[in-house]
């Protein structure tokens, strides 16, 4: 009886071992936990600095080349930039002074031109009145001359007939000659006045009664010369200001190259918290911001090397996030035996083994998982996932179960 029971027990155990072997070839077993991660770019302050501008918010998506954060180093030499600012300020003061001087001269020229026009108008009016008076006088003198001429003719006729004396004839001749000379003098004066009128109309200086006109014209010439000098100095001041502005821009660019750093996204990425706020002081080597590539999520799993037989390049695996029952598929994209490149990994999950040798496997999840993860604010980065891989040995399920329990 005991022998029969022993035989049956051996058969049951053998059959169970055979079933376990078959199941281990078909089913999946749980492996160690993995962490969802992505290629991340950490922006570090090379020196102690203060955040001047922040262009993004946590969990925001940025395009490649977009600015993220701008910092300014705390230890800096701004004396060249300060000197350039002072030079620009002095140049602007000089330009303003030259412009004020030019404006004053323009106003003075306008005032003198107005005064000259008024004086010339007054001179024209005065000459016109004097011409009218001379013309009226000339008409009277012409009539007087004709009358004296008739008197002289009549007196000569009477003297020829001995009616009047020679003395009376001489007296009449003198009066006629005087009347003729007065007429000629009046005509000359009228001609002079008309010439003066033409000179005034032409804007030329005249001597008689136009001292104010001459003085005003002279002052206008002096102001014109000063205005030419002022405009030349104003142009020189503007050129000096342009040069000072160019120099200041060069100094500012040099200052920013030396002391201002703008971090740009090297690819399309999502900003992970925290993002240093404006005004925050960052120590040398401190993290300013972190950008993650949500289109390239992966999971790294580290197992003891003796369990590495469960993984092979291109192998399909299944996984689910802790707290979720939904399973996804992935592919083993990279293997690194003995931790060959573990120091370069963004994450590291220590193997649950006392042995120094272990294996790191990188899992590339399916595209559907990446699309769904991208809908989460943090793209599920940092969440733990549980992998299931196909067993490749008879005792692998027992070792996995024993490891998971103990």
What tokens were used for 92? 């602007």
Reply yes or no on whether the pLDDT at 153 is more than 80: no
Over residues 54-74, the mean pLDDT reads 90
More confident of the two residues 188 and 17: 188
For 348, residues 6+ apart whose C-beta sits below 8 A from its C-beta are 300, 302, 342
pLDDT (0 to 100) of residue 2 = 65
- Measured CA to CA, the distance from residue 170 to residue 141 in angstroms comes to 21
The 10s digit of each residue's pLDDT in 371-398 is 999 889 989 998 888 888 765 444 554 5
Task: Please state whether 300 falls in left (phi above 0), alpha (psi between -120 and 50) or beta.
Answer: beta
Burial 168-202 (b: 16+ CB within 10 A, else e): ebeebeebbeebbebbeebbebbeebeebbebbee
What's the CA angle centered on 106, arms 105 and 108, to 5 degrees? 60
388 forms beta bridges with 30, 318
What's the CA angle centered on 336, arms 326 and 40, to 5 degrees? 65
Band of pLDDT at residue 32, cut at 50, 70 and 90: low
Over residues 7-35, the mean pLDDT reads 60
- Measured CA to CA, the distance from residue 17 to residue 25 in angstroms comes to 12
- Measured CA to CA, the distance from residue 190 to residue 321 in angstroms comes to 119
Sole residue written with tokens 């142009």:
235
Reply yes or no on whether the pLDDT at 45 is more than 50: yes
Task: Please state whether 349 falls in left (phi above 0), alpha (psi between -120 and 50) or beta.
Answer: beta
Residue count of the chain: 406
Cα-trace Rg, the chain? 57
Lowest mean pLDDT among 27-31, 40-44, 197-201: 27-31
What tokens were used for 134? 């001379």
Over residues 6-32, the mean pLDDT reads 57
């Amino acid at each position: 009886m005991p022998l029969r029971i022993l035989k049956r027990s051996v058969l049951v155990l053998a059959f169970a071992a055979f079933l376990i072997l078959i199941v281990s070839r078909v089913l999946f077993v749980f492996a160690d936990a993995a962490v969802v991660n992505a290629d991340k770019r950490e922006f570090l302050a090379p020196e102690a600095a203060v955040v001047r501008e922040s262009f993004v918010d946590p969990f925001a998506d940025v395009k490649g080349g977009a600015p993220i954060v701008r910092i300014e180093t705390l230890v800096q030499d701004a004396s060249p930039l300060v000197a350039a600012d002072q030079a620009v300020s002095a140049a602007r003061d000089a330009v303003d002074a030259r412009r004020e001087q030019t404006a004053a001269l323009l106003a003075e020229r306008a005032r003198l031109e107005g005064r000259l026009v008024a004086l010339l108008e007054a001179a024209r009016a005065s000459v016109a009145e004097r011409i009218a008076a001379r013309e009226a006088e000339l008409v009277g003198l012409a009539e007087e001359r004709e009358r004296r001429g008739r008197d002289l003719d009549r007196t000569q006729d009477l003297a020829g007939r001995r009616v009047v004396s020679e003395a009376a004839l001489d007296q009449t001749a003198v009066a006629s000659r005087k009347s003729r000379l007065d007429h000629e003098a009046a005509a000359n004066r009228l001609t002079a006045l008309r010439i003066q009128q033409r000179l005034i109309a032409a804007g030329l200086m005249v001597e008689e009664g136009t001292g104010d006109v001459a003085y005003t014209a002279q002052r206008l010439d002096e102001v014109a010369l000063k205005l030419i000098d002022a405009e030349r100095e104003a142009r020189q001041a503007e050129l000096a200001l342009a040069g000072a502005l160019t120099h200041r821009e060069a100094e500012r660019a040099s200052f920013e190259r030396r002391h201002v750093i703008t971090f740009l996204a090297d690819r399309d990425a999502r900003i992970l918290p925290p993002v240093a706020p404006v005004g925050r002081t960052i120590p040398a080597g401190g993290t300013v911001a972190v950008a993650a590539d949500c289109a390239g999520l992966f999971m790294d799993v580290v197992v003891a090397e003796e369990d590495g037989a469960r993984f092979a390049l291109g192998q399909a695996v299944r996984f689910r996030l802790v707290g979720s029952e939904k399973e996804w598929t992935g592919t083993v994209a990279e293997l690194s035996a003995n931790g060959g490149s573990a120091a370069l990994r963004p994450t590291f999950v220590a193997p649950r083994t006392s042995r120094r040798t272990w294996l790191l496997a990188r899992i590339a999840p399916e595209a559907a998982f990446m699309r769904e993860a991208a809908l989460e604010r943090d793209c599920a980065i940092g969440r733990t996932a549980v992998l299931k891989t196909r067993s490749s040995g008879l005792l692998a399920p027992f070792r996995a179960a024993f490891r998971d329990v103990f």
